[in-house]
Chain A
Amino acid sequence: MTNETEFINALLSKKHRERAFKQLLDRYQERLYWHIRKLVHTHENANDVLQNTFVRIYRSLPNFKQNSSLHTWMYKIAYNESLRFLEKHSKELRVSLDEVNEKHLENLFQDSYFNANEVQVKLQKVLHELADKERKVFQMKYYDDLKFREIAEILTIKEGTIKTLYYKAAKYVEDKMVQVMVTEHKI
């Protein structure tokens, strides 16, 4: 039995559940928070989604089939919770998901937990010039350090397509940021 299987059994046992879940929080809370924050932008939004994500993880543990690793499964739940949150907002505001994204990005620039210089603001804007899928793939690979295979599982897209999306996005961000650096710092 692998360590992960033992750990999952602990999460499911009455006796060890509480301690195991604390360990899970210690290991994953911050990672999942940043994963969510990049999808929903502001701290307040990310806090709501993070809480819902861990409650859902806890509730869904008995149904975890172990077809993927616990790590990938939790990222997928966090991703789905973020989407659910954005869709709820899009319904409430009666606007498209793209428009909700734009609105949240505007809110981010007003957020008290956004403290960026000009270059950082520019990077945020460049990231939002990417197509939705390209941006998600780029962020999951570059900032969350997920494997291509894991991103493919989370987004349910073929691994080959994920690689193409990532390299295209990375090239775009690199070119744009080089331009910014040249103009800003007159390199």
Chain B
Amino acid sequence: MDTFNYPEQDKKEGALETQRLKMHSKELGLEVPENYFEISKQEILNKIGTEKEPKTKLISLQNKKVLFSIAASIALLFTITIFQMKEGLFKSQEKKVRKIALLEENNDLINSLFVEDSDDFVEDYLNTKVLEDL
């Protein structure tokens, strides 16, 4: 691509635009210094000339906001990791307690199998407590 041009305005459109721009001084009383637009154009081109390539934005690590954000992110990550580790620890401990409880419950059931059933206890209880109350 060797030729290019900003899309052309037709003459009528261009004249209307010039008239409209003049409305700023005619209606609003706004003015600019002589040759302002030529001088300003050169100043802008000089500024851009020193830039050479359009820049992609670099984030400076010396910026306090950036440093604060990074520090906050690290702290958050650290807290989440610790929390997850603790949560894991609690869960495993809870599992152990449940296992022990289950074992003890099973032991009671097993032990009860070896206790002899006897009617004497019931008879004694009826004699001493229930009959006395009558």
The interface of chain A, by Cβ under 8 A from chain B, is 2-4, 6-7, 9-10, 13, 16, 20-27, 29-31, 33-34, 37-38, 43, 47, 50-51, 54-55, 58-62, 113-117, 120-121, 123-124, 143, 145
Chain B residues contacting A51 (CB-CB under 8 Å) are: 40, 43-44, 47
Q: Taking the nearest CB of chain A, how far is it from the CB of B58, in angstroms?
A: 12
In the docked arrangement, what's the CA distance between A145 and B14, Å?
A: 13
In the docked arrangement, what's the CA distance between A143 and B19, Å?
A: 10
Closest partner residue, chain A, to B42 (CB atom):
A25
Chain B residues contacting A34 (CB-CB under 8 Å) are: 21, 24, 30
Would you call B47 and A115 a contact (CB within 8 A)?
no
Would you call B6 and A24 a contact (CB within 8 A)?
yes
Q: Dominant SS at the B interface?
A: helix
Would you call B4 and A6 a contact (CB within 8 A)?
yes
Would you call A3 and B7 a contact (CB within 8 A)?
yes
Chain A residues contacting B21 (CB-CB under 8 Å) are: 30-31, 34
Among B5, B23, B32, B47, the residue within 8 A (CB) of A33 is: B32
From known contacts A7-B6, A16-B4, A47-B40, infer whether A62 and B56 are also in contact, taking CB-CB under 8 Å. Answer: yes
